Homo-oligomer: A and B are copies of this chain.
Amino acid sequence: MKIGDLSRLTGTRVETIRFYEKEGLIPAPSRTGGNYRVYDQAHLNRLSFIRRSRDLGFTLDQVRALLDLSDDHSRSCGAVDELAREQLRSVERKIEDLQALQRELASLLNQCSQGTIAECRIIEALAPG
């Protein structure tokens, strides 16, 4: 598999794959005579794992931790669950923050009567006083 194939199979940009390699998230693959990277199934599995973790909102440091943990088959999964619980809490906090924003913006838009800037409730709400 060349990097473009891996890219298509995982929906990851080629540059991002090279970036993950530089960051040590993916082991450096072997090369062809023309210096092209060659990947195998293990690389594909690892990149898929990374992408799914990122899609769930984990940071790259958390992904690193999850990858390490996933190798240690006989260990208890308490640490994994703790990471996931922490991530869930962080997502819930973000949702609450955004919902507060949503209410505020919606209320402002509701109050604006489409006149001039001078009487716009949105500008008024931003200006101090």
Contact = CB atoms under 8 A, between A and B. Distances in A.
A108 B52 CA distance: 13
B112 A81 contact: yes
Interface stretch (A18-26, A27-35, A116-124): A116-124
A98 B98 contact: yes
A99 to B, nearest CB: 6
19 contacts: A48-B128, A56-B104, A57-B101, A70-B126, A73-B116, A75-B116, A75-B117, A76-B115, A76-B117, A77-B115, A77-B116, A80-B117, A80-B122, A81-B112, A81-B122, A88-B105, A91-B105, A95-B95, A95-B99
Interface in A73-129: 73-78, 80-81, 84-85, 87-88, 91-92, 94-95, 98-99, 101-102, 104-106, 108-109, 112, 114-120, 122-123, 125-128
B120 A77 contact: yes
A84 B114 CA distance: 13
B114 A56 contact: no
A3 interface: no
A76 B116 contact: yes
Given A49-B128, A98-B95, A117-B76, A87 B105 contact: yes
